[in-house]
């Protein structure tokens, strides 16, 4: 993979992580209270956070398709998923205040090593 491909895959991971963050915030706000299913559906459809999450995912997927068209799927897919997992974990800790434990750090390190191996060999 070229450096530009790495940068693009990181952008995909970041956009996907932003989408996850927005989903978490949006669905928490929508699901609060004791509203019925129709009211919950209306809240979900009109939630700015959920709508922005959808936009982030559509953009990330479009970029992924562009990269996929010119690169090997056996390299791009694992790298995109690995970067996404790392970005989600880091954003969850940074923005949502979720804990970062030793097992999670070891798992993130394993992902980094796995991404390196997949892209080099």
Number of folded domains that form the chain? 1
Write the pLDDT tens digit of every residue in 10-43. 899 899 999 999 999 998 888 766 777 888 888 8
Q: What is the mean pLDDT of residues 68-88?
A: 86
DSSP reduced 3-state for 100: coil
CB 16 within 8 Å of CB 87: yes
Report d(CA 86, CA 28) in Å as an integer. Answer: 22
pTM of the complete model: 0.79
Q: Which domain holds residue 32?
A: 3-120
């Amino acid at each position: 993979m070229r450096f530009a491909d790495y940068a693009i895959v990181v952008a995909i991971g970041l956009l996907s992580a932003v989408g996850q963050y927005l989903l978490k915030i949006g669905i928490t706000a929508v699901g609060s209270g004791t509203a019925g299913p129709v009211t919950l559906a209306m809240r979900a459809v009109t939630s700015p956070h959920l709508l922005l999450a959808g936009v982030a995912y559509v953009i990330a997927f479009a970029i992924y398709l562009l990269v996929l068209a010119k690169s090997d799927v056996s390299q791009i897919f694992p790298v995109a998923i690995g970067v996404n997992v790392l970005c989600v974990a880091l954003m969850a800790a940074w923005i949502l205040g979720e804990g970062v434990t030793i097992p999670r750090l070891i798992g993130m390190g394993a992902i980094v090593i796995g991404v390196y191996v997949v892209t080099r060999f």
